[in-house]
Amino acid sequence: MEQDLYQKINELKKQKIASALVTVIATKGSTPRETGAKMLISADGNVYGTIGGSAVEALMIEKARESIRTGQYYKEWHDLDDREKEDTGMICGGKMEFFIEPLSVQPHLYIFGGGHVALPLARLAAQVGFQYSIIEDRSEFAGSERFPDAREIIIAGPEQINKKITFSPSDYIAIVTRSHELDYQALKVVLKNEFRYLGLIASKIKKKQVVNQLREEGFTDDLIDQIHSPIGIDIAAKTPEEIAVSIVAELIQVKNKKP
């Protein structure tokens, strides 16, 4: 059973699904599971294994979900001799201590464009722990020599994105293509997917035009408000390298922000 859980952990990581592992680290008296029993909870709501069932397990599932959201480790006791229903409401007669460990996945950044901003952005993002993919319709700007650390290089235009990429709620997206029109076409496709972060390179004037255009095409303000644009933290960046620094700073800010 334990081996199966670790196999499942690896599967979830490959699927970019965060999870939390709950382990029984101490028991007193009569308890439904022994020290060492484990349970895995994934961010998509699935539960693998058991640490005793009943109310105590329900409590730990909720704590595990909190651990996934916050990235925090937890250790806590629960009373299984709780006739007064102040904790679990169980009458097994013992106590159990649990350790909850969040198992995050390496953040994945999709970079639309392979040009002057994309190049330093990819290099810097990789240095701070992001894996990245490049989406570019020009093969000469998307070779493995140019982006040697890329997890994948996708030669495609905006109209092909959904056929080639399945985005997840943990993904980061930076749209920095060579033209306003390509940026906008990519943005329209991406907005219909789930993501953790979406940044669009733009001036304040361009952003206003983009917002108006999106509204005309039926996109709601709730969706539009998810766009970080102008992309990056305002550090008065001018060069491609400086712009990359501002974008990566914003990626880190979003990644480390507590819910």
What CATH number did the domain enclosing 168 receive? 3.40.50.720
Paired sense of beta strands 91-103 and 19-28, if any: antiparallel
What is the total count of domains within the chain? 2
**CB within 8 Å of 244: residues ≥ 6 apart:** 117, 120, 121, 123, 124
Residues 158 and 189 in one domain: yes
How high is the mean pLDDT in each 10-residue block of the chain (259 residues)?
A: 80 86 91 90 89 83 87 85 56 82 89 95 96 93 91 90 85 94 94 92 93 94 94 95 97 82
Give the pLDDT score at 82: 57
Residues 122 and 226 in one domain: yes
Give the pLDDT score at 96: 87
Residues 246 and 133 in one domain: yes
Residues 33 and 94 in one domain: yes
Name the CA dihedral angle for 230, 234, 239, 245, rounded to a multiple of 10 degrees: -100
Residues 116 and 181 in one domain: yes
Residues 30 and 59 in one domain: yes
Give the pLDDT score at 111: 97
Give the pLDDT score at 47: 92
Residues 150 and 247 in one domain: yes
Model pTM score:
0.74
Give the pLDDT score at 125: 97
Radius of gyration, CA atoms only, the chain: 23
- Rounded-to-integer distance, Cα 102 and Cα 93, Å: 29
Give the pLDDT score at 83: 60
Angle at 147 (CA atoms; ends 142, 150), nearest 5 degrees: 100
Give the pLDDT score at 256: 85
Print the domain residue range for 35.
2-103
Give the pLDDT score at 79: 77
Q: Which of 60, 78, 103 is the last residue of a domain?
A: 103
Give the pLDDT score at 155: 93
Residues 160 and 244 in one domain: yes
Residues 116 and 99 in one domain: no
Residues 193 and 140 in one domain: yes
Q: Which of 81, 103, 125 is the last residue of a domain?
A: 103
Give the pLDDT score at 1: 57
Give the pLDDT score at 30: 82
Residues 114 and 87 in one domain: no
Q: Which of 103, 127, 148 is the last residue of a domain?
A: 103
Residues 89 and 119 in one domain: no
Identify the CA nearest to 125 among candidates 73, 171, 87. 171
Q: What's the residue count for the chain?
A: 259
Do 131 and 151 form a contact (C-beta atoms < 8 A)? yes
